[in-house]
Amino acid sequence: MAIVASSSRLVVMLSFIIIVLMLVMNTEARPYGHGPHGNPTMAEKIDGMTMLEKLGYDLSKIDYYRRMLSSSPERISPGGPDPQHHY
């Protein structure tokens, strides 16, 4: 009788854990940046560059610093090791 009680307790506990995990996965499945009904949030409706321009920032400077901070292929690498350095 004790074996049946412990196995039914195990089934109930495993069922509870599975249900909780399914609920957590459902809440994490919502796309980032969208409201609860799939509508875009206010943050998505506002264009960032337009907002910076209205605040008085110079967009050409922002683009310059963005290019400087990015790891784009526009960077020029040196020709290689100097042969005189290794002698």
Q: Is residue 40 domain-resident? A: no
Instruction: Specify the pTM.
Output: 0.31
At 4, the pLDDT band (50, 70, 90 cuts) reads low
Q: Is residue 8 domain-resident? A: no
pLDDT of residue 31 exceeding 60: no
User: Apex CA 53: angle with CA 71 and CA 70, to 5°?
Assistant: 0
Q: Is residue 15 domain-resident? A: no
Q: Is residue 60 domain-resident? A: yes
Q: Is residue 11 domain-resident? A: no
- Work out the burial of residue 62: count CB atoms within 10 Å of its CB; fewer than 13 is exposed, 13-18 middle, 19 or more buried: middle
Contact between 7 and 13 under an 8 Å Cβ cutoff? The reply is: no
Q: Domain range for residue 59?
A: 46-72
Contact between 54 and 60 under an 8 Å Cβ cutoff? The reply is: no
Per the structure, the count of domains in the chain is 1
pLDDT at 6: 78
